[in-house]
Amino acid sequence: MSQISVICNMNFSQVAFQELLNQCIPIFRIDDRVEEVKEFFEDGRFSHVAIYDDQRFLGNLSSYALYPLENEESLYSLIDELQSFWVGETTHWVSVFDQLLKSGADLIPVLDNSGLHKGYYLLEDIEGMFGQSTFVQEAGEVLIISSNPTNFSVSTIVQLIEMNQGQVGGLLMTTSNELVKEVAVKVNSENFTQILSELRRYDYHIDYSPVNDLYFEQLKERSDYLTNYLDL
């Protein structure tokens, strides 16, 4: 088994992650004046802010798009500049973090199932969860793997990944109790399908994967076939 650069022992759950939701940062309406939003951006803390039309999310406005405009203009002038990135209330923390990095923003709006604004997740708060760990800087994609405590073994997980042409950059314990142990693993591989298959063969559950999961696609195909058959 190769040397792993990071093994970070830290317990937090998806529920605990949702407690990072920030409801203090404002949103703006599309008919608000440019001057109001410029005041929000004055301290330079945030790169974007969410823009709404009444209750409907329209997109995120970058501070850079704002400044060429006169103060008395409305945000309607910038409607084509809005960037559409957001997450749901139950979006997995890995996906939230991934979307933040891809967007280049330092916050991301959170919408409920009806599309209503619930708050923001901040990049600085998510990075704060990792403390001094370099987990987030390691190359690769994140897998979330869980099992019952009796079956759970970090060394076995690493061996199964590396035996299937994967490279482990770091591990982060996200849940550990008498019922389940869950770990986030940073994996660099072009063979994720085989890795997922092998982990399942050893009774590990895949709670989050960055790739389309053939296992669940096949289950869905079988379910659709059975449904069609019963409808005949």
The full set of domains in the chain, from first to last, is 14-129 (3.10.580.10), 138-218 (3.30.70.260)
Look at residue 146 in the predicted model and tell me its pLDDT: 93
Look up the pTM and report it: 0.71
Region 67-76 average pLDDT: 87
Asked whether the predicted pLDDT for residue 16 surpasses 90, the reply is: no
> Could you report the per-residue pLDDT of 139-167, keeping only the tens digit for each?
788 899 999 999 999 889 999 999 999 99
**186 — alpha (psi -120 to 50), left (phi > 0) or beta?**
beta
Residue 195 and residue 206: Cα distance in Å, rounded? Answer: 10
Look at residue 229 in the predicted model and tell me its pLDDT: 47
Higher pLDDT, 86 or 128: 86
